[in-house]
Structure 1
Amino acid sequence: MFEKIKNFFLRPRQLWEKNLIVLWIGTFMAGIAFSLVMPFLSLYIDTLGKFSSAQLNLYSGLTYSATFLVMAIVSPIWGRLADRRGRKLMILRASFGMAIVIAAMGLVTNVTQLILLRLLQGVFSGYVSNSNALIATETPKQSSGKALGILITGNVTGTLFGPLVGGVVAAIFGYRLTFFLTGLILFLVFLLSAVFVKENFQPVPKNKMQTGATIFRNLKNRKIVFGMLVTTLLIQLGNFSISPIISLYIRDLMHHAGPITIASGIIASLPGIATLLAAPRLGALGDKIGTARILKIGMLFAVAIFLPMALVTNIWQFGSLRFLVGISDGALLPAVQTLLAKNTPATATGRIFSYNQSFQAMGNVLGPLLGSTVSGIWNYNGVFISTAVVLFMGFLWVTFATKEPD
């Protein structure tokens, strides 16, 4: 046993394996940073003014969506630059820029300032997506599903610990300190990536850069690639529809009493535990039995989990279902990214992944707006039902997009 462990750590590794280790650590730290504050953002907004329930739902939706609205616009620009200058440069841009912007969120005095900073955050987004693109371009195709499945566990593991730490920090020191702590962690991610990530990058000359339309025309499997972009939008629309209301929903389940921030942090972490366990196994299984099959099963499983969330009466039931959501999370986005990697030439991976980030961002914009609108018109329970409907539409779409031609 000792010899096997020794050989695992000391054996020679290829460049893509070394980068996978470093970027796993980087996405782990980024996951901690982002999840320190996101589960409590709506509660933080509630401290910035006197809002009615409808106003709080609206401002929560706008604040969540602001970053992703900008991200949807700028991601193709950064993707084109990534194909010319490399993915590492994009990783450094994202980590350093977000370190400054998120730390500044701890200094705001009203919700308008917070929304403006969230808009600015969108300009500097892309650490995780560019890490995925870097690994996708340098990993052998036969190992891409496993590699991307492993990489996503870095971000997920960080997301697992972040809310727990953030919940305790917010309960003891208040919300503002969590933003400063997030900025510090992202600056450390910047230093780690700058020193240890090594990219074997072959730049595409500017005069040989293809337009987006040309890239799509030359793709061998255009239907699958475009299908996966839309699938990403639907997945994120479903996942993020509950983001603005989840801590408020937990507060209602706890009858506005008890350690709400800590409970929110714990429940926000539960999907991460399941994803951490499931994602590498599902990625490797997809390499064997078909990634599209894993994606469709994950969609149906998510539908079956979100529907009963509308019927829970306490946080124990809600937490148990949130844990099961993590299994579907371990199947969905890693499978989409694997299908994109397997059907995209290396010279266009940066842009295809940036388009995927744009569609992801559009889902992130529409999701919170859907959740806020539904909760404002009906109630929080309606958000989970509408989410299940969206994910079932995603299953139908994936079935169409991955169907082999007759």
Structure 2
Amino acid sequence: MSTAAEHIAAAEAHSAHNYHPLPVVVASAEGAWVTDVEGRRYLDMLAGYSALNFGHRNARLIEAAKAQLDRVTLTSRAFHHDRFARFCTELAELCGMEMVLPMNTGAEAVETAVKTARKWGYRVKGVPDGQAKIVVAADNFHGRTTTIISFSTDPEARADFGPYTPGFEVVPYGDLAALEAALDDRTVAVLMEPIQGEAGVLVPPAGYWAGVRRLTEERGILFIADEIQSGLGRTGRTFASEHEGVVPDMYVLGKALGGGVVPVSAVVSSSEVLGVYRPGEHGSTFGGNPLACAVALEVLAMLRSGEYQQRACELGDHLHHELALLTGSGAVTQVRGRGLWAGVDIAPEHGAGRQISERLLERGVLVKDTHGSTIRLAPPLVISKEDLDWGLDQLRAVLSA
């Protein structure tokens, strides 16, 4: 197979159609740019939904992976390995917490958080067995496992996958009064995203996140922040929760933690919460493996410098300033987001989000649509201002056409 069309035809014929990718076949990549099988270059303005915060093939991360590949890649948790303790220690320190439970994917980490909250509710809070309740937000996206889609409000995620897992209550995102009304003696946790990425980069009203923290503290309920997309520099802070001075009881992390090299996720919390586990009660063969820990340790070192958070802050201010001008032109109805992350609602007369994404693809820019009229912009934090401006120029050109 030498052409993009041949690759796409083979994929359509032999892979399940659980995604609807844009018609580009990536063969190589570096930094903020990718090259397809026919030699065409594209500016990546999606960054793997924040998995590529540090860009494609970041030299520091690739070097860390190569060095570990020459030593040991997998032991399983049946044994200790020499990267594990340091990874757990440094990630706990970055989060200001005590214990880490490493997994692989974001969805796996969310499942772990759900199980942890329930066990904590029974063992520590004293909720009667089988009655634990977790409150979540409408329009959430936490993954696609059977349990997680059970509390999704997206019909595409839920349809034909029942029966659904009980034990969840959904409240409107950003409505503090609705959240307060949903909390009761059986509530063990509130699980939410500080910014809802899949929903279109929805930022809650000012004070909401701090209000959730206050309510959960008053009621003795775990506050679980899903920072899989929003965390690790994307919004201009290490964690999006920091914008309101909030430290949750538990972070759920993934995507950028693996540096775009390997899947790495983790649940990070206190010893009181994660200390409820005993051997055999939860696990993952690849969770916390040596290769994953080696790459993630380099990610943590890069985050400690503050360089990437600062870049996201400065370039994010520029991004939102330029997008606001498009709103004034009438081509864009609304822009939301924080840092180097934006949801852009396209005026209907200019086309649906998918159409805009396809037109940008023709001009050498990769973005992704969501919920019909919205495109998401989340370039790697290593993107240059010049490349960012070029990408925005292509968006202007598409909308003016």
Q: TM-score, normalised by structure 2?
A: 0.27
Q: TM-score, normalised by structure 1?
A: 0.26
Greater share of residues in strand? 2
Structure ranking higher on relative contact order (CA contacts 8 Å, 6+ apart): 1
Greater share of residues in helix? 1
